[in-house]
Amino acid sequence: MGISVINKTFDEIIKIASEKTVNFVINNILREEKYMLRREKRRPWAMKTRRPFRGYIDKVEMTFEDKLKLAEEVAEKIELPLKKSKNGRPHFTI
């Protein structure tokens, strides 16, 4: 960090910072809306997967048991059979 001389008042600095912040937020919103117009495969990763659940999964602190129970309930609702796959490395047994 270097020493610099600032030729602006505190109010001018606050005004510039607030304008830059507003522009930053507006540009982010415009970019996200532009990405939402793309086909799902062409959207950025965060827009496809995390975005629909933002605000729900970010605020809730869940334990592993709660997450497992929720996953089992979802699997039952969409009627997917939970079975072991024969692919992959075999489990290590003693």
Cβ neighbour number for residue 32 with a 10 Å cutoff: 14
Rg (CA), the chain: 24
d(CA 70, CA 59): 16
Q: According to the model, what pLDDT value does residue 4 have?
A: 65
- Residue 3: helix, strand or coil by DSSP? coil
- Rounded-to-integer distance, Cα 3 and Cα 88, Å: 59
Type of residue at 5: V
Residue 30 reports pLDDT greater than 70 = yes
Q: How much is the pLDDT for 27?
A: 92
pLDDT of residue 1: 44
Q: What's the predicted TM-score (pTM) here?
A: 0.41
